[in-house]
Structure 1
Amino acid sequence: MRYTREELAEARRSIDSTLRKCEKALEKLRPGTSPHTLTVRRIRAFRIALALIDREMDGTEIPGPEGKEDL
C-alpha cells in the first residue's frame, strides 16, 4: 500500500512523540521487570518504524541493529 508524503510525515511525528515518551518512562523502570522489557521492545519497534518511514520518504538505507546496548 502506498502512502502520501503527508501521511508518512504525520505518522513519523506521532511515532517520534511516542518514542520520546517511552524513552523518558524507561528511566523510571527497574531493569529486569516486565514493564522495562516491554518498553525496551517498544522502543526498538518504534525506531525500526521510523527508519522504514524515513527510507520510504527519501530512499535512504536503513541502518543495521547497532546500538542495541544503549537501551
Structure 2
Amino acid sequence: MDYSMDELMEAKRQIDSTLHKLRETIKTFEAKENASRYKSQITLAKRRVKAFEIASHLIEDEIERK
C-alpha cells in the first residue's frame, strides 16, 4: 500500500508517543514494591514496546525511501 509522507510522519509520531508511554508504564510497574505482582502487565508492555519499535523502524525505512 502507498502512504503519503504526511501519513507516514504522523504514524511515526503516534507510535513514538505510545512507545514513550509504554516505557514509562514499565518503569512504574517495576518500581512498585510488589513488582512481581505485576509481572504479566510488565511482560505485555515489553512485548508491545518491541512490536512498536519494529513498526517505527519500518516506517523510518519507508520515509527514507521516499
Q: Same fold (TM over 0.5)?
A: yes
- Which protein has greater RCO, CA pairs closer than 8 Å, 6+ apart? 2
Q: Kindly, what percent of the aligned residue pairs are identical?
A: 42
Unaligned 5+ segments in structure 1 are 60-71
User: Which one has the largest radius of gyration?
Assistant: 2
Q: CA RMSD in A?
A: 1.3
Unaligned 5+ segments in structure 2 are 30-34
* The structure with more helix, counted as a fraction of residues: 2
Moved over 3 A (4+): none
Q: Across the two proteins, how many residue pairs are aligned to each other? A: 59
TM-score, L = length of structure 2: 0.83
TM-score, L = length of structure 1: 0.77
